[in-house]
Amino acid sequence: MGKTWAIGKKEFRSDFSSPIAYIFITSFLALSGCLFFRLFFLENTASLRNFFGFLPWLLLIFVPAISMRLWAEERKLGTLELLLTLPVKDYQVVIGKFLASFAFLSLTLILSFPLPVIVAGLGEPDPGPILGGYLGALLLGGAYLSVGLFVSSLTENQIVAFIIGVLTCFTLLVIGEQFVLFAIPRALVPLFQYLGLGYHFDSICRGLIDSRDLIYYLSVIGFFLYLNVRTVESRK
DSSP state of 123: S
**The predicted structure's pLDDT at residue 15:** 76
**The predicted structure's pLDDT at residue 169:** 94
What span, in angstroms and rounded, lies between the C-alpha atoms of 86 and 129?
45
**The predicted structure's pLDDT at residue 39:** 78
Cα separation of the two ends of the chain: 22
Q: What is the pTM of this model?
A: 0.90
**The predicted structure's pLDDT at residue 80:** 62
**The predicted structure's pLDDT at residue 78:** 61
**The predicted structure's pLDDT at residue 21:** 84
The H or E element that residue 227 is part of is: helix 211-235
Per-residue burial over 63-86, b = 16 or more CB atoms within 10 Å of its CB, e = otherwise: bbbbbbbbbbebbeeeebeeeeee
Q: Give, for all 236 residues of the chain, the pLDDT tens digit.
A: 677 887 788 778 877 877 888 889 999 999 998 888 887 777 667 678 889 999 999 999 999 988 887 776 666 666 666 666 666 787 888 898 899 999 999 999 999 998 888 888 887 778 888 999 999 999 999 999 999 999 988 887 888 889 999 999 999 999 988 888 887 888 888 888 888 998 899 889 887 788 899 999 999 999 999 999 898 877 66
**The predicted structure's pLDDT at residue 224:** 95
**The predicted structure's pLDDT at residue 171:** 93
